[in-house]
């Protein structure tokens, strides 16, 4: 496609802009559809957990329910409270959704299918996704609502703390694979995924990553920022209509991003299931398209995170911080040392 | 707006109104909460959002009518509320209630208790952020409600009592239906333990939170599971038996913890005791009359009458002052939730916002009963 | 303690108290000025030890208001009903029992709201159910309201 566009548009800058626009549009459409699908999936998973049917009226098997909901949110009044700081209030959903979209750039969806093969991919994702806290703080602060303010302050404490564990659990894989680029990390798993060949340190890192990233994206049982039953919605109490829908969409995109990162780093991303030197077996596995591998793994992790939400009650704020500072952080620190030792001694397969 | 003086006081404490429209106050309770960060400094309940002055209405209703207003007080134990009113009239008139009516009353009262505790179980999960238990508990509650619907004509506000007995006889398949409901409940009970009781997060949210000592429980007048979790023997069914509870075998569940977890355990165990009571009665409901001998127009003798029963939330007392006429001169309901509510400001102090939710969930307030 | 013994104790405690035994429990009628010392004795004396105030209300007898306190002892398991007669219906006043039983706080708020009895030394006397500017006290027998319907 690049060559075809090169012939059509001789100007290099024009070419770059056209390519960016095309990628952007494709990505946005894909992500909106993805958010729709995740919304539908969440309802079905919830219904599955709660011995009920879930949406089954609008469209075949209720698939269009989420479209109907989006339409409803679209036609609702984009209400801004009188006492709110209007500029920040309207800016906040934009910031949250932008950070969610930015984080998806270096993720490889299939073999050689990546928007931006940046050589510091892991670093980029962890730094961009931590910017979401600014949007949440902004939303909570500018709403001029006490519940929102408490929610925003909680999010500050929560996201900043759990950032550390996420970083440390990613670093253990970076040490093992010796690269920050997501593509290199995937390539390094050609003879087996890290979770299989990395022994216990990688398994620990994987579990910590799942827990910490659930907290990072404010999903139950770590949804203290929203906490409907305590703070009546927390930072997004005052939001309605499309602005609220943007928070919702950002939540689903974030869910997808962290699951995709977990799938890429620990489960080999688009890399098929390879076992050491069993060439025949590996060839059979190669017949399954790499995109199916990627999405299969990602949705498996999404499903796990959704199960958390519908099984566990919420933690209290001090318990949440205890969990991070007293358990996860020390464990991940020791874990990084173990992984380093393993990498130096070459103990992994 | 946040920085106007009435939103925080001189010490910089943050004043938040929880309710009257708040997802976990279960109705229109408004708690004014003084916060220091996340820590609760002071709680002050504000009431009256659903005040209907039932006590005033009762003064112009006859002794046959006033029973049914009480269904709207503690709507989850409507049947037991009716029972206390029927009992006070019977006590004043010294009417003998037929054994069949008593047995049916007790069965329905215990079913009401199970259904009320199930709703409590559902909502404690919901309040603490886990939605799934809600649907598990409502599955069984639905079966009980259908049974009530078939026999009493209503799912929630049964209005099945008349002074001297019950309004009409139960259906022929009553016994079989009750057994079905109990079987379903017993078969599914283990799921409650699996989804909530065994959950580590859930236990951590309740253990050591909101400790109510036995002395405080007495001083604040707490009754029901709330007080029994603090080690106070206050089951009216044992202390002052009515409607034949003295003939039944069941245990009064008490615990000594006094925290939210103890209250949780007491309620979970009480459901099993209710099942035990119904099982003793269901196969030997006596035959015979369902209403005792009462006149069409009831006149209570001049005097004062006090009767109490054990609802799902504690001791419900009704105090009737009669001047010898056809309507009560004064009627006072001593409601369990009102007394239990007064303990909340005391035990919530020093806890976090999230703990206030667990305290409210385990004390299980029904606001219409407080407001009356 | 039996009813007879309680009666003896109350006569010793307050010779001016009168008794009424129509109901289930022993009713003791005392003048409202004597309420606080009597209640303190009832709460604190070892052989009485009424630690549980389970019902607190008021009855409007048109010419006087009658405060009714249901007391029970959890240790001795005896019950007594103390009635305090307030003769001043225009500006009724009585001592608050909050210092003895904390449960009295909300109950007394309720009585203040619906009967207009002012409780002295109450920590936070307010209209519990009705608005602050509500005129009249609904449970009084002479209460009139434009919305009232005669049944």
- For domain C3-92, give its CATH number from 3.30.460.80, 3.40.50.1000, 3.65.10.10, 2.70.70.10: 3.30.460.80
Residue-number span of the structural domain to which A247 is assigned: 80-345
- Of B107-116, B239-248, C11-20, C110-119, the range with the lowest mean pLDDT is C11-20
Contact in structure between B305 and B92 (CB atoms under 8 Å): yes
Distance (Å, whole) CA B47 – CA C127: 9
Residues of C with Cβ-Cβ distance to B51 under 8 angstroms: 129-130
Q: A44 in a domain, yes or no?
A: no
Distance CA(A146)–CA(A153), nearest Å, equals: 11
Q: How far is CA B256 from CA B108, B213, B229, B345, in A?
A: 30, 9, 6, 21
Greater pLDDT, B243 or A196: B243
3-state secondary structure A132-166: HHHHHHHHHHHCCCHHHHHHHHHHHHHHHHHHHHH
CA distance A231 to A148: 7
pLDDT band, very low/low/confident/very high, at B72 (cuts 50, 70, 90): confident
In whole numbers, what is the pLDDT of chain B averaged over residues?
A: 84
Q: Does the CB of B350 have a partner CB in chain A at under 8 Å? A: no
B contacts of C114 (beta carbons < 8 Å): 53, 55
Give the gap in angstroms from C-alpha B23 to the nearest C-alpha of chain A: 5
Does B56 sit within 8 Å of C139, measured CB to CB? yes
> Quick one: CA dihedral A324, A330, A333, A335, positive or negative?
negative
C-alpha distance from B227 to closest chain A C-alpha (Å): 25
| Chain C residue closest in CA terms to B62 | C151
Q: How confident is the model at residue B2 (pLDDT cuts 50, 70, 90)?
A: very low
Report the distance separating Cα A199 and Cα A202, nearest Å: 6
Cβ neighbours for C14, distance < 8 A, ≥ 6 positions apart: C30, C34, C38
Count of residues making up chain C? 151
Q: At what angle do helices B99-127 and B78-93 cross, to 10 degrees?
A: 150
C19: part of which helix (H) or strand (E)?
A: strand C18-20
C-alpha distances in Å from residue A135, one per residue of A20, A89, A153, A224: 25, 10, 12, 16
* C115 within 8 A of C108, measured Cβ to Cβ: no
Mean pLDDT over B32-42 rounds to 83
Touch between A and C (at least 3 CB pairs under 8 Å): no
Whether residue A250 lies inside any domain: the answer is yes
Picking from A177, A98, A86, A186, the residue whose alpha carbon sits closest to that of residue A139 is: A86
Q: Which of A51, A230, A311 lies closest to B357 in CB terms? A: A230
Is the model's pLDDT at B10 over the cut of 70?
no
* Alpha-carbon distance values, A215 to A143, A158, A218, A317 (Å): 23, 7, 5, 12
Helix (H) or strand (E) holding A28: helix A12-49
> Whats the size of chain B, residue-wise?
372
Count chain B–chain C contacts defined by CB atoms under 8 A. 82
User: Sign of the C-alpha dihedral, residues A189, A195, A199, A202?
Assistant: positive
- Whether A41 maps to a domain, the answer reads no
Give the other-Cβ count within 10 Å of B190's Cβ.
10
Q: Touching B: which chains, 3+ CB pairs < 8 A? A: A, C
Closest residue to C55, CB basis, from B220, B232, B334: B334
Distance between CA atoms of residues B145 and B53, nearest Å: 28
Residue C32 tokens, joined: 């409202």
Q: What is the mean pLDDT of residues A268-284?
A: 71
Q: Which residue do the tokens 């190669």 mark?
A: A286
Q: Could you tell me where the beta strands, DSSP code E, fall in chain B? A: 14-18, 30-36, 39-46, 161-162, 165-166, 303-311, 314-322, 330-334
Quote the CA–CA distance of A257 and A245 in Å, as a whole number: 18
Q: What is the pLDDT of residue C150?
A: 67
Residue A227 and residue B136: Cβ atoms within 8 Å?
Answer: no
pLDDT band for position B5 (50/70/90)? very low
Tens of pLDDT, residue by residue over B276-310, are 888 888 888 888 888 877 777 888 888 888 888 88
Task: Return d(Cα C75, Cα C40) in angstroms, integer.
Answer: 17
Per-residue pLDDT reduced to its tens digit, A130-172: 788 888 888 888 887 788 888 888 888 888 888 888 888 888 8
Contacts of B123 in chain A (CB under 8 A): none
* Chain A contact present for B16, CB below 8 A: yes
Interstrand relation of C118-120 and C93-95 (parallel, antiparallel or unpaired): parallel
Please identify which residue in the block is written with the tokens 């405690």: C13
Boundaries of every domain in chain C = 3-92
Structural domain count, chain A: 1
Shortest CB distance from C103 goes to which of B47, B53, B339?
A: B339
Query: What angle do helix axes A65-75 and A12-49 make, rounded to 10 degrees?
Result: 110
Residue B129 and residue A229: Cβ atoms within 8 Å?
yes
What are the CB-based long-range contacts (under 8 Å, 24+) for B19-23?
B20/B49, B22/A232, B23/A228, B23/A229, B23/A232
- Given strand B30-36, what is the order of strands in its sheet? B14-18, B30-36, B39-46
B289, burial (CB in 10 Å: exposed 0-12, middle 13-18, buried 19+) = middle
CB contact under 8 A, B53 and C52: no
Nearest-neighbour CA in chain B from A321: distance (Å):
13
Query: What average pLDDT does the segment A287-291 reach?
Result: 75
Q: Answer whether C27 sits within 8 Å of B346, measured CB to CB.
A: no
Q: What is the pLDDT of residue A313?
A: 84
Q: Give the pLDDT band (50/70/90) at residue B370.
A: confident
pLDDT for residue A59 is more than 80? no
Q: What does the block give as tokens for C9?
A: 């104790």
Q: Which two tokens stand for residue B348?
A: 């919530």
Q: Is the pLDDT at C8 greater than 50, yes or no?
A: yes
Q: Model confidence over C26-73: pLDDT tens digits?
A: 788 888 887 888 888 888 877 778 888 888 888 888 888 888 888 888
Q: How far does the CA of residue A235 sit from the closest CA of chain B (Å)?
A: 15
Contact B201 A46 (CB under 8 A): no
| Token code pair at residue B336 | 């369990």
Instruction: Place A276 in a pLDDT band, splitting at 50, 70 and 90.
Output: low
Separation of alpha carbons B219 and C100, rounded Å? 8
Residue B1 has pLDDT above 70, yes or no: no
In chain B, which among 186-215 make CB contacts under 8 A with chain A? 195-196, 199, 201-202, 204-205
Question: How far, in Å, CA of B148 to CA of C103, rounded?
Answer: 35
C9: Cβ contacts below 8 Å, ≥ 6 apart:
C1, C47, C48
Shortest alpha-carbon distance between residue B204 and chain A (Å) = 8
Contacts of residue B156, defined as CB under 8 A and 6 or more positions apart, other chains included, come to B75, B76, B78, B145, B148
All domains of chain B in start order, with CATH:
53-371 (1.10.645.10)
Q: Using only C-alpha atoms, what is the Rg of chain B?
A: 21
Q: Which of B125, B132, B350 to mutate to test the interface with A (most CBs of A within 10 A)?
A: B132
Q: For residue A37, how many other CB atoms are within 10 A of its CB?
A: 15
């Amino acid at each position: 496609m690049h060559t075809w566009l090169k012939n059509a548009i001789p100007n290099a800058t024009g070419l770059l802009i056209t390519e960016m626009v095309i990628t952007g549009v494709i990505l946005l459409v894909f992500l909106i559809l993805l958010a729709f699908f995740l919304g539908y999936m969440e309802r079905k998973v919830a219904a599955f957990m709660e011995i009920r049917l879930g949406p089954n009226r609008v469209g075949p098997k209720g698939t269009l329910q989420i479209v109907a909901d989006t339409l409803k949110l679209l036609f609702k009044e984009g209400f801004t409270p009188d006492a709110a700081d209007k500029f920040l209030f309207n800016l906040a959903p934009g910031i949250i959704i932008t950070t969610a979209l930015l984080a998806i750039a270096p993720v490889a969806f299939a073999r050689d299918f990546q928007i931006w093969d940046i050589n510091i991919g892991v670093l980029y994702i962890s730094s961009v996704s931590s910017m979401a806290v600014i949007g949440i703080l902004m939303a909570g602060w500018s709403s001029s609502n006490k519940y929102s303010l408490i929610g925003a302050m909680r999010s500050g404490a929560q996201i900043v703390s759990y950032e550390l564990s996420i970083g440390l659990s990613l670093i253990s894989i970076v040490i093992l694979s010796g690269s920050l680029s997501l593509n290199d990390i995937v390539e390094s798993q050609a003879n087996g995924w890290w979770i299989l060949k990395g022994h216990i340190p990688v398994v620990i890192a994987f579990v910590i990553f799942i827990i910490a990233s659930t907290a990072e994206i404010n999903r139950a049982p770590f949804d203290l920022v929203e906490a409907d039953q305590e703070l009546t919605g927390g930072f997004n109490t005052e939001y309605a209509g499309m602005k609220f829908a943007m928070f919702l969409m950002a939540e689903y995109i974030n869910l997808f991003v962290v699951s995709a990162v977990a799938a890429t780093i620990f489960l080999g991303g688009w890399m098929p299931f390879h076992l050491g030197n069993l060439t025949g077996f590996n060839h059979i596995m190669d017949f399954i398209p790499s995109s199916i591998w990627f999405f299969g793994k990602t949705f498996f992790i999404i499903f796990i995170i959704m199960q958390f939400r519908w099984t566990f009650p919420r933690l209290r704020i001090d318990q949440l911080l205890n969990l991070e500072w007293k358990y996860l952080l020390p464990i991940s620190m020791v874990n990084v040392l173990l992984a380093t030792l393993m990498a130096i001694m070459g103990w992994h397969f | 707006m946040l920085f106007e003086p009435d939103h925080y006081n001189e010490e910089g404490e943050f004043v938040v109104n929880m309710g009257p429209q708040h997802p976990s106050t279960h109705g229109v309770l408004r708690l004014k909460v003084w916060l220091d960060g996340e820590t609760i400094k002071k709680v002050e309940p504000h009431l009256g959002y659903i005040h209907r002055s039932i006590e005033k209405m009762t003064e112009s209703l006859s002794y046959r009518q006033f029973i049914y207003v009480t269904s709207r007080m503690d709507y989850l134990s409507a049947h037991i509320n009716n029972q206390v009113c029927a009992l006070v009239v019977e006590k004043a008139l010294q009417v003998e209630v037929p054994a069949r009516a008593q047995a049916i009353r007790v069965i329905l009262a215990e079913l009401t208790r199970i259904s009320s505790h199930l709703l409590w179980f559902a909502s404690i999960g919901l309040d603490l952020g886990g939605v799934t238990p809600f649907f598990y508990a409502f599955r069984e509650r639905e079966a009980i409600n259908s049974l009530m619907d078939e026999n009493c004509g209503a799912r929630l506000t049964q209005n099945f009592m008349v002074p001297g007995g019950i309004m009409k006889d139960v259906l022929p398949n009553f016994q079989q239906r009750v057994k079905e409901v109990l079987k379903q409940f017993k078969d599914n009970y283990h799921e409650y333990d699996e989804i909530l009781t065994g959950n580590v997060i859930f236990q951590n949210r309740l253990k050591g939170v909101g400790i109510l000592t036995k002395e405080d429980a007495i001083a604040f007048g707490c009754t029901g599971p709330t007080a029994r979790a603090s080690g106070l023997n206050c089951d009216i069914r044992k202390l002052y038996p009515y409607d034949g509870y003295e003939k039944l075998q069941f245990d009064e569940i008490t615990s000594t913890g006094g925290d939210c977890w103890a209250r949780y355990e007491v309620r979970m165990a009480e459901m099993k005791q209710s099942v035990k009571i119904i099982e003793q009665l269901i196969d030997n409901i006596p035959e015979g009359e369902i209403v005792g001998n009462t006149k069409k127009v009831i006149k209570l003798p001049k005097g004062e009458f006090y009767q109490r029963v054990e609802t799902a939330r504690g001791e419900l007392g009704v105090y009737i002052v009669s001047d010898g006429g056809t309507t009560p001169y004064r009627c006072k309901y001593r409601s369990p939730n009102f007394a239990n509510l007064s303990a909340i400001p005391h035990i919530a102090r020093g806890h976090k916002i999230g703990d206030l939710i667990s305290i409210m969930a385990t004390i299980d307030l029904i606001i219409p009963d407080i407001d009356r | 303690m039996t009813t007879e013994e309680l009666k003896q104790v109350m006569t010793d405690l307050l010779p001016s108290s009168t008794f009424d035994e129509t109901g289930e429990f022993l009713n003791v009628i005392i003048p409202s000025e004597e309420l606080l010392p009597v209640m303190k004795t009832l709460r604190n004396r070892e052989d009485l030890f009424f630690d549980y105030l389970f019902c607190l209300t008021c009855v409007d007898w048109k010419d006087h208001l009658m405060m009714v306190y249901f007391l029970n002892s959890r240790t001795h398991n005896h019950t007594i009903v103390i009635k305090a007669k307030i003769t001043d219906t225009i500006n009724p006043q009585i001592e608050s029992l909050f210092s003895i039983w904390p449960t009295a706080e909300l109950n007394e708020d309720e009585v203040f709201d619906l009967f207009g009895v002012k409780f002295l030394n109450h920590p936070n006397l307010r209209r519990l159910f009705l608005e602050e500017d509500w005129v009249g006290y609904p449970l009084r027998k002479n209460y009139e309201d434009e919305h009232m319907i005669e049944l």
